[in-house]
A and B are shown apart, each in its own frame.
Chain A
Amino acid sequence: MGLRIVKLPDVGEGVAEAELVEWHVAVGQSVLEDQILAAVMTDKATVEIPSPVAGTVVALGAEVGGVLAVGAELVRLEVAGESSGEVAATPREAAAPAPKAEKPAAPAVPATPAATTRLPSTALPTTGAPIGPPRPAGEKPIASPAVRRRARDAGVDLRQVRGTGPAGRIGHDDLDAFLRGASAAVSSRARVANTAVETVKIVGLRRRIARKMAESKRRVAHFSYVEEVDVTALEELRARLNAANRPDRARLTLIPFLMQALVRAVADFPEMNALYDDEAETLERHAGVHIGIATQTPAGLMVPVVRHCEARGLWDCAAEVLRLAEAAREGKASRDELTGSTITITSLGPLGGIVTTPVVNRPEVAIIGVNRHAVRPVWQEGRFVPRTMMNLSSSFDHRVIDGYVAARFVQRLKALLESPATIFIEEA
């Protein structure tokens, strides 16, 4: 028997390290060639590392949540044959079908089997024991009297608790894990004071979100600007277009209109569609408008990017937003689809509130937040009229965007949205 060391392969351009988010194997387990060993996370995308050879796992290189450098030992395998050495694995990105047209030249090697896509949620740390009957019906759970008493006090049916002890015995730790993870399963018959404290390690996507948000808030000189927009006409237009009810087209939300308006507005305010490199102190103005759409997924906040909106029509934008949001929610979004935005829209949908304070998606310099729209009385021409009103809460990086410019930019957006025809008129 020989030993083989599987190293963390290069998982993407410029990525020097990756966070280990999930082990798919354990020490002592035999693995087949191509069997997934682990999932690592780079730049918001989960990448699965398959085993290059068959063997038995003798050591794991890191714990979940640990960060491994590219080239570091990932797994040590005992393999048949004498030779010992190192092998490189080929990463497999959990990728969605990329746009067909701009697909690079097909690789010479036979295509690997379709990557098994994984839900991001499974890459999150497990904080609780599984819920559901872990033992056959009618079988009494095995637990000491003290555990049984604690379970009773907490209103826990021990039949629902998985015992990790010998013969499936339920220990205090098992009960703790259950109480942490399955508080929903606790009977509500009686209310008891719950003094449980749970420490959850922030790993994976959530850690990236946390770091990125802190970084944005720490390094970007935020200021927000809120303006009221009359979207009565826009809503009418939207309703009319949706009424056509064409099955080949996505239903329009307000977002694609806002995207189209943004394309028009940033043409006049190119400093808004830009990336600020605060180390080099340069502002990178982009001709292409790549709009990030902040999206809530089961794993946490993701920002899929609709590229080249300046080249897309209304329906195209709508369809692409829909496709990317779905891919992000299912964890199928590729790294490319989650990076490269130049300006971001954030919307909480019907939860939109009155005013929000969006956090700039660094290194971008502007983010447009959509609040909830509602019919409100508006004083016009000496009387109140019902108008559909909506706030835009937008934040900017004050280091490179002046308040006056930001206000004018938002006024431009407001003008476009209030007279939606102007969004689509060439010379407006």
Chain B
Amino acid sequence: MAEIAARVLVLGGGPGGYVTAIRAAQLGLDVVLVERGGRDGGLGGTCLNVGCIPSKAIIHAADAYARALEHAGDAPFGLRVGAPTMEFARTVEWKDGIVGRLTGGVGALLKRHKVKIVQGNGEMLDGKTCRVETDTGPQTVRAGHVVLATGSMPASLPALPFGGRVMSSTEALSLQEVPGRLVVIGAGYIGLELGTAFAKLGSKVTVIEAEERILPAYDAELSRPVLRRLQALGVEVLTQARASGLSDAGDAVLVAREGAATRSVPADRVLVATGRRARTAGFGLERLDLTMNGGFVAIDERCATSMLDVWAVGDLTGEPMLAHRAMAQGVAVAEQIAGHRRVFDAATIPAVCFTDPEIVTVGQSPDEARATGREIRTAQFPFQANGRALTLGAEEGFVRVTARSDNHLILGIAAVGAGVSELAAAFGLALEMGARLEDIAGTIHAHPTLGEAFHEASLRTLGEALHI
């Protein structure tokens, strides 16, 4: 059996794994990356293959179509559009083209940094050795350091196992045609992003959520504009409802709601989007005997596991399961292996929800800040008062800033509105740098932009708003 020795072995080629590999190689370490490929994606992992990127492609296409439809019906600024049609197969082709370019790009980057890629299912034999089943036979990789970056996979519901009409987000992103009736179980960001997109593409969408409101991870202020938009798109939202299974014929979802009779919601497709779980099986994790933290591999602030020179990054290590967190962890691990002192110590990890409108949060919400027992001040600036938002026909939403009362240190920034995901950069920078309200107030924001709402929200928190 062929054997490769390397300084670093990275198991998994998603955002956590490939970034670890590139950074380690940049620092002069020889790196072997083991990527098994398969249904949930090869290089680039969930993010590139069946997550962030294809979903944003579909969302964008759906958005453009919905807008065209809107403009065909009611020309808001003199634009007249004929009856638009959507050739969904072309959409899927276009999406696959983007995914192909990006995954190819990751492969090229790894190659340029001289990272050796071993394609195949890797299984850890011990903390230093990995056996990879490749197309050309088994191969053993021995390394001084092992970085586990195996990611996560969609969680299923016992009452609705994947198969047939019941699908995960992975399959939803590979649909070849728009389902007529789509039932989405779970009103978290994955369910709502895809549910909204398919609603715009023409599906009759019903969303079923066990909690009392949609996007339970966000506060009600932020989720309210999203709910209004869902209703405008004709999406039926059933909260405090549980999907108890499929009807006997298998063409409807049985929904139980407290104090009401079980209801049957017809469905051509059922998307179960109730969460994701770490991928802990199938790669020999049990042989490493690592300390676990629930369903996740426990790590310390350095991303070190309980075993010497075995590291873990990304979704495998828990929430928030975000690609940018995995990448930052990967950099920290690579630099440590190269001998630098590092920890993963980000002040904040921005989170974006690509619903319609978009939501971005950085740091604490007002309630979270209050819960720490601290005196706070908070204010929001509505896009209704922002010139750029009006010219975009996107006056729904606001930017909200939360700061400490005593020294005006900004604790959290959030926004909901069209295109606000791009404000994540400004928000993240402000929090990471330890900005005070006066810092944002003292920064000239370009006019006319959506970012002015951030400036104004800071001014308003100081009681000095100029445009409201």
Q: Flag the segment in A119-127, A141-149, A246-254, A306-314 that touches B.
A: A141-149
Q: Is A140 an interface residue (CB 8 A)?
A: yes
Q: Which of B341, B342, B404 has the most chain A CB atoms inside 10 A of its CB?
A: B341
Does the CB pair A143–B434 fall under 8 Å? yes
In B232-273, which residues have CB < 8 Å from any A CB?
Answer: none
Does the CB pair B341–A167 fall under 8 Å? no
Does the CB pair B342–A142 fall under 8 Å? no
Q: Is B289 an interface residue (CB 8 A)?
A: no
Nearest Cβ in chain A — how far from B339, in angstroms? 9
Q: Is B433 an interface residue (CB 8 A)?
A: yes
Does the CB pair A167–B340 fall under 8 Å? no
Cα separation A153 to B342 with both chains bound (whole Å)? 8
Whose C-beta in chain A lies nearest to the C-beta of B342? A152
Residues of B within 8 A of A152 (CB): 341-343, 345
Does the CB pair B432–A166 fall under 8 Å? no
Q: Is B408 an interface residue (CB 8 A)?
A: yes
Q: Is A134 an interface residue (CB 8 A)?
A: no
Cα separation A143 to B432 with both chains bound (whole Å)? 8
- Among candidates A144, A145, A190, residue contacting B341 with C-beta atoms closer than 8 Å: A190
Does the CB pair B340–A153 fall under 8 Å? yes
Whose C-beta in chain B lies nearest to the C-beta of A149? B342
Q: Is A168 an interface residue (CB 8 A)?
A: yes
Nearest Cβ in chain A — how far from B64, in angstroms? 37
Q: Is B407 an interface residue (CB 8 A)?
A: yes
Cα separation A153 to B404 with both chains bound (whole Å)? 30
Q: Is A208 an interface residue (CB 8 A)?
A: no
Q: Which of B340, B345, B407, B434 has the most chain A CB atoms inside 10 A of its CB?
A: B434
Cα separation A145 to B331 with both chains bound (whole Å)? 14
Q: Is B308 an interface residue (CB 8 A)?
A: no
Does the CB pair A142–B341 fall under 8 Å? no
Whose C-beta in chain A lies nearest to the C-beta of B410? A167
In B333-357, which residues have CB < 8 Å from any A CB?
Answer: 340-343, 345-347
- A167 with B409: in contact, given A143-B434, A153-B341, A155-B341 (CB under 8 Å)? yes
Q: Is B40 an interface residue (CB 8 A)?
A: no
Q: Is A169 an interface residue (CB 8 A)?
A: yes
Q: Is B439 an interface residue (CB 8 A)?
A: yes
Interface size on B, residues (CB 8 A): 17
- A166 with B439: in contact, given A142-B409, A142-B434, A143-B434 (CB under 8 Å)? yes
Nearest Cβ in chain A — how far from B55, in angstroms? 29
Cα separation A145 to B343 with both chains bound (whole Å)? 11
Whose C-beta in chain B lies nearest to the C-beta of A190? B341
Does the CB pair A168–B345 fall under 8 Å? no
Does the CB pair A148–B340 fall under 8 Å? no
Residues of A within 8 A of B433 (CB): 144-145
Whose C-beta in chain A lies nearest to the C-beta of B432? A145
Residues of B within 8 A of A190 (CB): 341
Nearest Cβ in chain A — how far from B7, in angstroms? 19
Cα separation A168 to B342 with both chains bound (whole Å)? 23
Q: Is B438 an interface residue (CB 8 A)?
A: yes
Interface class of chain B by DSSP? loop
- Among candidates A144, A153, A165, A168, residue contacting B432 with C-beta atoms closer than 8 Å: A144
Whose C-beta in chain B lies nearest to the C-beta of A192? B341
In B302-343, which residues have CB < 8 Å from any A CB?
Answer: 340-343
Q: Is B114 an interface residue (CB 8 A)?
A: no
Q: Which of A140, A148, A155 has the most chain B CB atoms inside 10 A of its CB?
A: A148
Cα separation A166 to B403 with both chains bound (whole Å)? 13
Does the CB pair B343–A167 fall under 8 Å? no
Residues of B within 8 A of A166 (CB): 407-408, 436, 438-439
- Among candidates A140, A143, A148, A167, residue contacting B436 with C-beta atoms closer than 8 Å: A167
Whose C-beta in chain B lies nearest to the C-beta of A187? B341
Residues of A within 8 A of B342 (CB): 149, 152
In A366-381, which residues have CB < 8 Å from any B CB?
Answer: none
- A167 with B432: in contact, given A140-B347, A153-B341 (CB under 8 Å)? no
Cα separation A287 to B409 with both chains bound (whole Å)? 72
Nearest Cβ in chain A — how far from B394, in angstroms? 32
Whose C-beta in chain B lies nearest to the C-beta of A171? B434
Does the CB pair B345–A167 fall under 8 Å? no
Does the CB pair B434–A169 fall under 8 Å? yes
User: How would residues 394 to 407 of chain B score, 1 for a CB under 8 Å from any chain A CB and 0 otherwise?
Assistant: 00000000001001
Cα separation A148 to B343 with both chains bound (whole Å)? 10
Whose C-beta in chain B lies nearest to the C-beta of A148? B345
Q: Which of A144, A166, A190 has the most chain B CB atoms inside 10 A of its CB?
A: A166
Nearest Cβ in chain B — how far from A140, in angstroms? 7
User: How would residues 138 to 176 of chain A score, 1 for a CB under 8 Å from any chain B CB and 0 otherwise?
Assistant: 001011110011001101000000000111110000000
Whose C-beta in chain A lies nearest to the C-beta of B345? A148
Does the CB pair A167–B347 fall under 8 Å? no
Residues of B within 8 A of A169 (CB): 434
Nearest Cβ in chain B — how far from A189, in angstroms? 9
Cα separation A144 to B433 with both chains bound (whole Å)? 4
Cα separation A152 to B346 with both chains bound (whole Å)? 13
Residues of B within 8 A of A153 (CB): 340-341
Nearest Cβ in chain B — how far from A415, in angstroms? 65
Whose C-beta in chain A lies nearest to the C-beta of B431? A142
In B405-439, which residues have CB < 8 Å from any A CB?
Answer: 407-409, 432-434, 436, 438-439
Residues of A within 8 A of B407 (CB): 166-168
Cα separation A142 to B434 with both chains bound (whole Å)? 6
Whose C-beta in chain B lies nearest to the C-beta of A144? B433
Residues of A within 8 A of B341 (CB): 152-153, 155, 190
Residues of A within 8 A of B408 (CB): 166-167
Nearest Cβ in chain A — how far from B251, in angstroms? 53
Whose C-beta in chain B lies nearest to the C-beta of A141? B434
Nearest Cβ in chain B — how far from A237, in angstroms? 61
Residues of A within 8 A of B345 (CB): 148, 152
In B19-33, which residues have CB < 8 Å from any A CB?
Answer: none
Whose C-beta in chain B lies nearest to the C-beta of A138? B372
Residues of B within 8 A of A144 (CB): 432-434
In B206-244, which residues have CB < 8 Å from any A CB?
Answer: none
In A258-309, which residues have CB < 8 Å from any B CB?
Answer: none
Whose C-beta in chain A lies nearest to the C-beta of B439? A166
Nearest Cβ in chain A — how far from B124, in angstroms? 29
Residues of A within 8 A of B340 (CB): 153
Cα separation A239 to B166 with both chains bound (whole Å)? 100
Cα separation A153 to B338 with both chains bound (whole Å)? 13
Residues of B within 8 A of A145 (CB): 346, 432-433
Nearest Cβ in chain A — how far from B239, in angstroms? 36
Residues of A within 8 A of B343 (CB): 152
Q: A165-B434, A166-B436, A190-B341 are in contact. List 11 more A-B contacts (CB 8 A).
A: A142-B434, A144-B433, A144-B434, A145-B346, A145-B432, A152-B342, A152-B343, A152-B345, A166-B407, A167-B408, A168-B407
Query: Could you list some 13 contacts between A and B, CB below 8 A?
Result: A142-B409, A143-B434, A144-B434, A145-B346, A145-B432, A152-B343, A152-B345, A153-B340, A165-B434, A167-B404, A167-B434, A168-B407, A169-B434
Q: Closest 4 A-B residue pairs measured CB to CB?
A: A142-B434, A167-B407, A167-B409, A169-B434
